[in-house]
Structure formats: C-alpha cells, structure tokens
Amino acid sequence: MNNSLRTFMLLAALTAVFLIAGYVIGGATGMLIALVLAGGMNLFSYWNADKIVLRLYGAVEVDESHPEPLIRTYVGDVLEMAQSAGLPRPKIYIIEGEQPNAFATGRNPENAAVAATVGLLRMLDRREIRGVMAHELAHVRNRDTLTMTVTATIAGAVSALANIGLFFGGDRDRPAGLIGTIALAILAPIAAALVQMAISRGREYEADKGGAEISGDPDALASALAKIDGWAHREPNVTAERNPATAQMFIINPLSGHGADNLFSTHPDTRNRIEALRRLAGLGGTAPAPLVEARRATAVPTTRDRRKTGPWA
C-alpha cells in the first residue's frame, strides 16, 4: 500500500512538472496543449510500447514445442507460475545476448509478455531462473509495465516540451520570460528524470517481494540477483546502451557502470535488494559468503578492487 501510494504521488508530481512546463512556455493555452500532448503520447504507448520494445531487442516468441530442453523447461516454469499466481497465459520470449537479464512488458495482464536473454538461461540454475521470472510476473500482476511506460512517455515529453520552449518561447509575453524558459529547459528534464527513477526503484522492490511470493523461494531470487549483478556489467548490452530509456525495464540495470541507491539510479542497489529478500526468507539481512563470492567472481576488476581507491571507492 505504501509503495502504491508513493507511486501515485510520484506520477502526480511528474504530470505536474509537465503541466508547469506547458504553462511556462505558453500560459494556460500552453498547459492545455501539454495536457493533450501527454494524453496522445500515453495512448500511443499504451497500445504499442510492448511491440516496439520486443522488436527493438529482436525477441523471439517460444512455447512448449521448442526443440531445446532448456527453453522448454523455461517456458513450462513460467506458465506454471503464471497459473498459480492467477494470471492469464503470458507470451514468452527469448533474446539473443550473453548478458543475463530479463524484463516484462505489455499494457495489462491479458496482453503481457516476459522475456529472458539466452545468457540468463545458460548462467542460472532452474531454481534461480524461476525466481527471476517470478519477479517479472509480479511486474505483470502489479501492472508495473503500464506504470513504467506512462512515466517514460511523460518524462520524454517533458524533455521535448522544454526543448520546444527553448527555441520558440521566452518572449516578454510568456509567463516566465526568457530567463524562466531557459531555466525550464535545464531543470524540467532533470526533475522528470529523477521522478521517473524514483518510481522505477520503488516498483523493483515491490516486484522482488511479489516474485518471492509467486515462486515461494525468496533466496532463489537473491542468489540470481547476486550472479546477474556482476555479469551485467561485464557483458555489454549494445541495444540497451543505444536506447538507455529502456534500461528501467530490466531486472538489473543493463547499462555499463556502477550504482547505489541514489537519486540517479534506475534500480535499487543489488545488495539492498538481496538483504530485503533474505529478510523475507528469514535468513537475516546480510548476504552470506556464497552470494558475496558470486558477486566478486563475476564483477569486472576495478581500481577499487585493486587498491581501494578511485571514483567508485
């Protein structure tokens, strides 16, 4: 309930940023135009976002008749968990790529799709794969796919509107004048991005909890996250690097880099997620040695690893 309320409040704040941007650029008329524009973009995203992202990543639909046993098992486990969670049958996809990762998309549970990379299916054991895909099914059950699509659309619209204002607004007849318009062009996209990231982090924690309930095995998801986290920064995801707005969809941030639970992170820090899952499993809040070692074994060596110094220390 707290996470849902927080998401609603953040969405309201994001919409307010968009409307304020419209008002600064064109007064009451500009705000009305911004509202209509946001509605049109959200409507387009509602119907087409899933198709666009699946095509972008070259996802291939699979079912129980696939010739490879590993993929047949993956499909069967997803369908079994979806049924036990009371969800309609989702479409199931695989994505060529060595980076272990997964995401869910679709405008509602009746039109949902889940996708996993080939790297994820090869790297994790069956129990861990079930934990990851249960997390994605929790996103479907919580309708996070729609929430994140709407936030990404509005955040993108704020940036577009700010650019329009910078080039076409700012005369003395505008509510904020030239200085206000320039400030808007700089600050509005930053504010929108921060709100979008905050929403994304909240939904990830909620999906971790929901996934643990669906699979009945919180420690399996914790173990999977520990493994994926290291390899996600070792194996680049070229498509995600070219389209960073899609990074929020994945279970682990697919972009190269390091992060913590801060304003500029699309995902919670993996260690925080593992500790929360272990508390759900009744195992305490500290990651055990096997999980820590798994992360160390797969992490890219950095200056911090060698000398405990550098920008990430």
Amino acid identity of residue 310, one-letter, is: G
Which residue in the block uniquely carries the two structure tokens 């992170």? 265
* 3-state class (DSSP) for residue 168: helix
On whether the CB atoms of residues 54 and 41 are closer than 8 A, the answer is no
**Token pair for residue 226?**
């520990």
Pairwise CA distance, residues 254 & 101, whole Å: 7
Catalytic site includes residue 206: no
User: Tell me, what's the pLDDT at 289?
Assistant: 41
Q: What is the pLDDT of residue 110?
A: 94
Give CA–CA dist 217/50, Å, rounded: 28
C-beta of residue 255 within 8 angstroms of C-beta of residue 195: no
pTM of the full predicted structure? 0.75
Q: Which residues pair with 116 in a beta bridge?
A: 94, 102
Residue 32, Cα to own-chain centre: how many angstroms? 30
Query: Do the beta carbons of residue 220 and residue 131 sit within 8 Å?
Result: yes
Among residues 61, 80, 136, 213, the one annotated as catalytic is 136
* CB-based contact 17:158 (threshold 8 Å): yes
Cβ proximity of 34 and 84 under 8 Å: no
Q: How high is the pLDDT of residue 68?
A: 95
Q: What is the pLDDT of residue 312?
A: 30
Residue with tokens 């976002």: 49
Q: Is 249 exposed, middle or buried (0-12, 13-18, 19+ CB in 10 A)?
A: buried
**pLDDT number for residue 136:** 97
How far from chain centre, in Å, is Cα 7? 14
pLDDT value of position 204:
92
Contact 38, 15 (CB under 8 A): yes
Q: What is the pLDDT of residues 195-207, one digit of tens each?
A: 777 777 888 999 9
Cα–Cα distance between 199 and 259 in angstroms, integer?
17
pLDDT of residue 307: 36
Q: Rounded distance, CA 108 to CA 111, Å?
A: 5
- Residue 290's contacts (CB-CB under 8 Å, 6 or more residues apart) are 223
pLDDT at position 174 is 55
Mean pLDDT for each consecutive 10-residue tract of the chain (313 residues)?
Answer: 65 76 74 75 78 93 95 97 96 95 92 96 96 97 82 72 63 58 74 77 90 95 93 84 82 69 68 92 54 44 36 32
Output the furthest CA–CA distance in the chain (Å, rounded): 68
